[in-house]
Amino acid sequence: MADPGLQSAAHPGLRRLGILPLRVVPGRGNLAIWTFAIICALAQLAVAASLGVTIYRIPLAAALILSLVQAAAIVLALFAPVWATLLALIAGNALSGLAQAGPDRPWPIAASTIVAYTLVWIGVSLRARWWLPVAGWSFSVLSAVMVAVDAPTRADDGLVIADLIVFAAVTLGAVLVGIGIRNWSLLRAQLRAERAATAAELARREAVQDKARIARELHDVVAHGMSAIQVRAASARYRMPDLPADAAAEFDEVAATARSAMKEMRVILGLLRDEEGEADHAPQPGLDDLPALLARANDLAPVTETGSWQLTADEQSNPLLGLTAYRVVQEGLSNVARHAPGAATEIAWTETPAERGIRIRNAPPTRAIAPRADGGGHGLRGMRERVEAMGGTVAAAVTGDGGYVLQVRIPREERE
């Protein structure tokens, strides 16, 4: 019955009392509990009313009303334990006070009242903290003793004492069972929460360790290699005095590109090594950085640019769009340099009311292609993942003249 996970939805006053709310829309488990409580309440009403009238000589109206209050307390214990406690005590004391003692019947507490108290205390113990059912039980036992002592007509003292002992023992057992089940449910819920928190922390630590391992690999393999390229390219004009001017300029461009790549590599390494995500991140490139990128690429092969994007104010402030466009052009030009050295390249910027496009087309290579160190394909896959994250598409194909074309489409953001 107890559902500790629902405590946060309870009224603050109920939380202070330690009362657990029942689901508004019960599932199968709660539906079975409701059904059982209602059946018990109806049975209690029928039995208590009939026994009160026939055996204990209680007036019919009083027996019906008090039995109905007892039955209502059984149901109220599921969602209003305080009211259930009060009603159970009122009805139980009233029935005991109106019942006539006799040697052939349990007195001062009837068997039906013992059953009613048992069901109510179990429900109250499951829904509230321990002090409420314990206080209710203590008051019910004390009231029963007072009824037995102050009764105008006395029954056999042995039978009265036996009835009180049975009543106190059975109802106390109900209180202890309810408290035990409630504490067990709370401990299970706390254990599940601790396990979930532990699993989340382990997953986070594993992710941090994976990021650290990737950062080490990038630093040891890529960063060291780029550093060596930059140093050798920058020192080429000094190591080879007879180097032609255009070749020296080419080496200087390679050194500048290597420095730029190393700068971005340091940003990536900082992101990977930042466990809490609070490191200061260098600004990412955007559309404003494209002219410098095209100028560097134009030193290797002719690059022409047609069209432009007319960005709105929101799009100009969106760093993701500019970063994606920059990475698309950067990867496209890198692919041209690797797979079609010396080929002329055309970059066309297109836009429609529904989408924006980038078309990168290169002619066949004019120089020999250098052998590739690996299988490649990672840049195009990364580009596709980046564009698809924005809802766009990437298409690439070989042209009829032996060139290559790359088409990227990015949908415009919908405005309400």
Confidence band of 154 (pLDDT split at 50, 70, 90): low
**Which pLDDT does position 41 carry in this prediction?**
92
Q: What is the pLDDT of residue 116?
A: 94
More confident residue, 5 or 358: 358
pLDDT range class, residue 6, cuts 50, 70, 90:
very low
What is the C-alpha to C-alpha distance for residues 8 and 192, in angstroms, rounded to an integer? 16
Are the C-beta atoms of residues 301 and 250 closer than 8 Å to each other?
no
Determine the pLDDT at residue 341: 81
Q: How far apart are CA 309 and CA 287, in angstroms?
A: 10
Nearest to 9 by CA among 91, 79, 114, 98: 79
Give the N- to C-terminal CA distance of the chain in Å, as an integer.
Answer: 46
Contacts 24+ apart (CB under 8 A), 211-216: 211/272, 211/273, 212/272, 212/273, 214/272, 215/269, 215/272, 215/273
Average pLDDT over residues 105-134: 91
Which residues sit opposite 73 in a β-bridge? none
pLDDT at 234 over 90: no
**Contact in structure between 363 and 385 (CB atoms under 8 Å):** no
Q: Is residue 355 within 8 Å of residue 410, measured between CB atoms?
A: yes
Average pLDDT, the chain: 81
Q: Please indicate whether residue 183 or residue 152 has the higher confidence score (pLDDT).
A: 183
Looking at residue 288, its pLDDT comes to 86
Per-residue pLDDT for 401 more than 70? yes
Return the exposure string of 381-404: e unless at least 16 CB atoms fall within 10 Å of the residue's CB, then b.
eebbebbeeeebebeeeeeeeebb
Q: Using one digit for the tens of pLDDT, what is the confidence trace for 268-313?
A: 777 666 655 444 455 678 888 888 888 888 877 889 999 888 888 7
Per-residue CA distances from 214 to 210, 265, 270, 294, 378 (Å) = 6, 12, 12, 30, 16
Share of the chain above pLDDT 70, in %: 83
Residues 87-112 pLDDT 10s: 999 999 999 889 888 777 888 899 99
Average pLDDT over residues 213-233: 72
pLDDT band for position 15 (cuts 50, 70, 90): very low
